[in-house]
Amino acid sequence: MTDIHDLISARTAHIGGGIPVARLLPNKSRRTIGAWCFLDHAGPAEFAPGTGMRVGPHPHIALQTFTWMIAGEVLHRDSLGSVQVVRPGQVNLMTAGAGISHTEECLAEETELHAAQLWIALPPHKINIAPAFDHYDQVPRWTTGLSQCTLLAGSYGEHTAPTRVYSPLIGMELLSTAPDAQTLTLNPDFEYGILVLEGSASALGIEVAQDQLLYLAPGAAALDIHLSLNTRVLLVGGEPLPEDLLIWWNFVGYDRDSIIQAAADWAAADPRFGEVKGFDGPRLVAPELPWPAQ
Ligand code: MN
DSSP string, the chain: ----EEEEE-EEEE-TTS-EEEEEES-SS-S-BTTEEEEEEEEEEE--TT-S-EEEEEEEBSEEEEEEEEES-EEEEETT--EEEE-TT-EEEEE-TT-EEEEEEE-TT--EEEEEEEEEEPPGGGTTSPPEEEEES---EEEETTEEEEEEESEETTEE-----SSSEEEEEEEESSSEEEEEE--TT-EEEEEEEES-EEETTEEE-TTEEEEE-TT-SEEEEEE-TT-EEEEEEEPPPSSPPEEETTEEESSHHHHHHHHHHHHTT-GGG----S--SPPP-----SS---
pLDDT tens-digit readout, 99-131: 999 999 999 899 999 999 999 999 999 999 999
CA of 168 to the centre of ligand 1 (A): 23
CA of 117 to the centre of ligand 1 (A): 9
pLDDT tens-digit readout, 46-56: 999 988 999 99
User: Does 2 have pLDDT greater than 60?
Assistant: no
Average pLDDT over residues 86-109: 97
CA of 237 to the centre of ligand 1 (A): 21
pLDDT tens-digit readout, 182-209: 999 999 999 999 999 999 999 999 999 9
pLDDT tens-digit readout, 36-47: 999 999 999 999
User: Does 30 have pLDDT greater than 60?
Assistant: yes
pTM: 0.96
CA of 59 to the centre of ligand 1 (A): 7
pLDDT value of position 3: 55
pLDDT value of position 1: 42
